[in-house]
Amino acid sequence: MTDRWIELDGLVNMRDLGGLPTRGGGHTAAGRLIRSDNLQDLTDADVTRLVEELGVTDVVDLRTEVEVHLEGPGPLRRVESLTHHHHSLIPEQRQEDVERIAEKALALPWRDEEKQRDARFWADHYLGYLSARPDSVSAALRVVANAEGAAVVHCAAGKDRTGTVVAMALDVAGVPHDEIVADYVLTAERIEAILDRLRPRPAYGEALAKQHVGEQVPRPESIETILRALQEGYGGAVGWLLAHGWDEAEVERLRARLTD
């Protein structure tokens, strides 16, 4: 699976979701869905590769307004051919409150210093994304379904919020759960490099300085929990989407977009 890594100078956790087996005997298509960590540090060469070589047309940003405010516009914002979609998975503060709370960033889950960040902690957050922001999850997946080229889905580390949306997409595509879990935990190979990238950033450094790497390592149980909840509650991600406003044609468009 590691040959799906996309190596760029300005990030460390980007990979193509193509090449994964599906239950129907096929594979997910390359160049359709790309998962990533924060895009703030992309070089000019990185931008050129993403747009001209990898064919990226859409960027789905799952970060909060607080993060976007603190981090500022990234290099891809200057590319007129790209369409940017902001769909936070965390309930937002009112826009007029964003600047006032920016320094403390109280809306961010990693700021809670009293919580033990084990597999259950992260699983609870992933389930919370589905219950608190089903509109954003649905909208992010709709972007993937309708993108003309490759869609990049990212948050900060490219692990939790991105992992939730990607798991949903792969479940719709018919990727077996063990393969979805394997893709999720692949981020562990680069977790130290990911945290090294985020620590100097204004939105993340203070909180991450108080945490050890083990708290951030992706564990299989975390993503297994959301896949099991989707299966038991809705018959899978397809059923979840149908229960949240999608029709069969939209689901089929997403499936077709993601598979060969």
How far, in Å, CA of 15 to CA of 138, rounded?
22
The pTM for the full model equals: 0.90
- The SS3 of residue 191 is helix
Q: How far apart are CA 229 and CA 127, in angstroms?
A: 8
Q: What is the CATH number of the domain that holds 103?
A: 3.90.190.10
d(CA 204, CA 153): 19
Q: Which domain holds residue 35?
A: 2-255
Q: Region 82-99: what's the mean pLDDT?
A: 74
Helical packing angle, 134-146 and 248-258, nearest 10°:
60
- Does any domain span residue 260? no
- Residue 88 pLDDT > 80: yes
In this structure, is residue 11 part of a structural domain?
yes
In the predicted model, is pLDDT for residue 75 greater than 80?
Answer: yes
Which pLDDT tens digit goes with each residue over 95-116?
Answer: 444 444 443 333 355 445 555 6
Task: Answer whether residue 220 shows pLDDT above 80.
Answer: yes
- Determine, yes or no, domain membership for 192: yes
Q: What is the total count of domains within the chain? A: 1
Distance between CA 100 and CA 104 in Å, rounded?
A: 9
Question: Each residue of 147-178: pLDDT tens digit?
Answer: 999 999 999 999 999 999 999 999 999 999 99
Is the per-residue pLDDT at 201 higher than 90? no
Tens digit of each residue's pLDDT (9 = 90 or more) over 51-65: 999 999 999 999 998
